[in-house]
Amino acid sequence: MTPPARDGPIPPGEWLGLLGGGQLGRMFCMAAQSLGYRVAVLDPGADSPAGSVADRHIHADYLAPAGLARLAALARAATTEFENVPAEALAFLGRSARVTPAAPSVAIAQDRIREKTFLRDHGFGVVPFAVLATEADAVRADAALLPGIVKSARMGYDGKGQIRVGRHADVAAAFAAMGRVPCVLERFVDLACEVSVIVARNASGETATWPVAENRHRNGILDVSIAPARVDARLAEEARTTATRVAAALDYRGVLCVEMFVTRQRELLVNELAPRPHNSGHYTIDACVTSQFEQQARVLAGLPMGDTRQHEPAVMVNLLGDVWFEDGAAAPREPDWLAVLKHPQAKLHLYGKAEARRGRKMGHVTCLAPSLDEALRVAAAIKRALGIPGADELA
């Protein structure tokens, strides 16, 4: 077996490991391969977006000892593409290889109770919240947190595992609907916008951040990211500094997304952490010198970090499976990609998923232009052409 590579750079030509076979893993594979690395993906899916482009696909559960042993024997370093990969799998690989991010950091980010408590205890602004560990907690919930939202502590993403509550009685009902698993109750805040910052941190503690993205959601799923965000310079700098401080507090290694709320009072509150590249950072592939995925590979391999400057304004539009069911069609049909590609500033990215389903992330389009207004106009035109709601909100 190749000796552990805990220190020093791993040269191109070596194997890197990845836990997870989704679209984030697919884009990581492509970035790592462009640097000359071979990538082995461990994923339980037989036909996954990342597995289809990886140099090797280990078809196994994330906690299967045999599969993990095969990956550990092959790869000199390993990373993950989504936060719900068991931290135990990262710990297993960490015994013989470099792992970024490390299991302790992921364990905090994959549990909302631990995450919010960690952020609050380290002095970061967060939305007022309460832990609902038992039915009694739900019954006695503080009315000052209403109206609000009940979120499951684990396994929630893209609006899943969340129930809005307006009255005191709703809290207990929501807790029961969640299966009485640990949850948090968060108070709604008066938002001006939502933003995120992608930050990379390497083994020596060096950090790099990308320009702040302004995010709009629809039905709990990211719809559009606008970069740079339309916030003042002071707030943008505060957001990037906050992301850097969060990464340092976690002693993080790798690429991290820090999602934040901007209130009407211009207060910045940390909402969630994603210990991986993030949908709101996809614009970096086409609009920045170094993408979030290339940086993930660089940090994992111990290479110098790349320049994160943005060379052109960008608007990223998510492509959900709904686009395949335009006009209420009963069966999916291929969208009109010529309507996208006729815009020379548009960069189409499809994730290679075999089946289109409503609400499923199937790809994205990044619209580039010399000005943000022009990029927004192109994004609006593409939304209209594909039947994606909200085009008039961008124009």
What is the chain's pLDDT, residue by residue, as a tens digit (395 residues)?
A: 343 445 689 999 999 999 999 999 999 999 999 999 999 999 998 889 999 999 999 999 999 999 999 999 999 999 999 878 888 898 899 999 999 999 899 889 989 999 999 999 999 999 999 999 999 999 999 999 999 999 999 866 655 688 999 998 899 999 999 999 999 999 999 999 999 999 999 999 999 999 999 999 998 899 999 999 999 999 999 999 999 999 999 999 999 999 999 999 999 999 999 999 999 999 999 999 999 999 999 999 999 999 999 999 999 999 999 999 977 677 889 999 999 999 999 999 999 998 999 999 999 999 999 999 999 999 999 999 999 999 999 86
CATH-assigned architecture of domain 128-187? 2-Layer Sandwich (3.30)
Q: Following DSSP, what letter does each residue of 245-308 receive, concatenated?
A: HHHHHTT--EEEEEEEEEETT--EEEEEEESS--GGGTTHHHHBSS-HHHHHHHHHHTPPPPP-
Backbone angles phi, psi at 43, to 5 degrees: -155, 140
- Other Cβ atoms closer than 10 A to 340: 21
Quote the pTM value.
0.94
Measured CA distances, 40 to 32, 34, 59, 352 (Å): 11, 15, 10, 18
Alpha-carbon gap, residue 34 to 38, rounded angstroms: 10
Distance of alpha carbon 72 from its chain centroid, rounded? Answer: 25
Domain spans of the chain, in order of start: 15-99, 128-187, 191-388
CB 132 within 8 A of CB 183: yes
CATH-assigned architecture of domain 15-99? 3-Layer(aba) Sandwich (3.40)
Backbone angles phi, psi at 248, to 5 degrees: -65, -40
98 DSSP β-pair partners: 77
CATH code for the domain defined by 191-388:
3.30.470.20
